[in-house]
Amino acid sequence: MNDDTLVRTGLELLQQAQRGHGASSSAAAAGGPGGPLLGLLLDFTLPSSAYATMLIRELTRQGTSRAFQSALTQAAQERASAAVAQ
């Protein structure tokens, strides 16, 4: 597989801009046609039997109920269907 076929992450774009053009270009790389990109890089260690998804849900204060997760899944499927239809 060729690396040109992969989509670069926001972090990769920022790192590339910092290496090649200095800090002023990294700010430009963070903003694209759709506006500034926001991201969060988490680095943590969990004990055994602990799940990263639960930690992230706690940090973002998302619900963990079955109904809430089902609604998220349904919304994602509807967005995917709409994107395919376009």
> What pTM did the predictor assign?
0.39
Query: What does the alpha-carbon distance between residue 84 and residue 28 come to, in Å, rounded to a whole number?
Result: 31
Print pLDDT tens along the chain (86 aa). 566 677 777 778 777 777 775 544 444 444 555 556 667 778 889 899 888 888 888 888 888 789 988 998 999 999 999 888 87
Query: What's the one-letter identity of residue 42?
Result: L
Query: What does the alpha-carbon distance between residue 33 and residue 15 come to, in Å, rounded to a whole number?
Result: 19
> Is the distance from CB of 31 to CB of 37 less than 8 angstroms?
yes
Cα torsion for 67, 52, 5, 72, to the nearest 10°?
Answer: 10
Query: What does the alpha-carbon distance between residue 60 and residue 18 come to, in Å, rounded to a whole number?
Result: 29
pLDDT at 35: 59
